[in-house]
Amino acid sequence: MSHRNPFALALLLALAAAVAFGCATGTPPPAPAAAQAEAAFEPFHSLVDAAFVKQHIQMPMAEDVMIIDSRPRRPKYEEGHIPMAVSLPDSQFAKLAGQLPANKDALLVFYCGGLACPLSHKSARKAEALGYTNVKVFAEGMPGWLKVKGNYASVSVEWLQKQLQADTGLVVVDSRPRRTQYDKGHIPGALSIPDSEFAQLASALPADKAAALVFYCGGLKCPLSHKSAEKAMALGYTNVMVFADGYPAWTAHTQEAAGAPMKAGKAEGTIDTDNFVQMVTEAPERLYLVDVRDSEEFARGSFKSAVNIPVEQLEAKMGSLPQDRPVVFVCNTGARSGESFYMVQDLKPGMKNVYYLDAEVTYRKDGTFEIKKPTS
């Protein structure tokens, strides 16, 4: 079945309309030369629609099918792409072509930013030049994908981490079974709504149907997050995404970000003060920083990356502490943070990589701070 004509015709009609407008008014439509050149590209000879793309999305993907995002990875692919698509920017095609399937008869579907975007068409021609025989272009691209009811975007681990660090209000949902997987480790702050219990636990989702939701599960071979995303959309949620790479990618990413091991202080459970200042300043994502002071104190100023769990509430919320990066407790003097450290030792002795800051800290409302090392 040929899918060429509808999209090629749409592109040609758009160009013709622009020319006709210029003739009717006596002046060409105002457009930068670069935009005119981009709009005049030659469409690839084999075009497909969103339904064609969707029917080839599987968890896991078939070995002889690859959906390819030709846009730049940052920020376009990272902030939202077709589920299961791989990032192969056209500008880096020659460098990354080794990621393409070895089978030259494999189905390759390229897409980019819509009908005016030439990147997918350029990449498709490059793939054919390498000998691939079953190459298609989804010309409507990411905008066309999201216009179809029931379709959603997949997001990257980099984007997800930035959103959580910025505390944007994003709601992250773990679709895996609770006891066997969530309880053993999960993305910090994620709700546990196993897909098998979605109907019973859906009330835990925000009342605001426009709230941003991201579902995840066990990686690219796991369908649970996709199933839950579809169920959420059926309930009327309009801003639904999936982190398809899932928890394995999250742990790998945070472990890589952690870099060198933590440097302990002289006293049991403490973190070296200089090491702490360097990390909280240069790489705060390496730590899960918990301010255990009262909420009123926290509101007057704290570290920008800290979460607030008053020491009186820590026992009840201990299950929310992550195990994929170091946890560091802080307060004003080291008293409550030290109490928190020993509470974890008593109640959750198997949890390692936990520290507290034993220092006098002065916090400012703007997130800046001063730290005085202990004298003894």
Q: pLDDT tens, 67-105? A: 999 999 999 999 999 999 999 999 999 999 999 999 999
> Taking 90 as the threshold, does the pLDDT of residue 329 lie above it?
yes
Task: Quickly state the pLDDT bin for 35 (edges 50, 70, 90).
Answer: very low
Compare 256 and 167 and report the one with higher pLDDT: 167
- The whole-chain average pLDDT of the chain stands at 87
Task: Quickly state the pLDDT bin for 259 (edges 50, 70, 90).
Answer: low
pLDDT given at position 374: 73
Is 259-372 assigned to CATH 3.40.50.150?
A: no
pLDDT given at position 90: 97
Give per-residue pLDDT as tens, 330-369.
Answer: 999 999 999 999 999 999 888 888 999 999 999 988 878 8
**Is 73 in contact with 83 (CB distance < 8 Å)?**
no
Q: Mean pLDDT across the stretch 306-326?
A: 90
Percent of the chain with pLDDT over 70: 87
The CATH number assigned to the domain with range 4-147 reads 3.40.250.10
CATH 3.40.250.10 maps onto the chain at 4-147, 153-253, 259-372
Q: Is the pTM of this model over 0.95?
A: no
**Is 77 in contact with 157 (CB distance < 8 Å)?**
no
Sequence length of the chain is 376
The CATH number assigned to the domain with range 153-253 reads 3.40.250.10
Give per-residue pLDDT as tens, 212-241.
Answer: 999 999 999 999 999 999 999 999 999 999
Burial class (CB in 10 A: 0-12, 13-18, 19+), 364: exposed
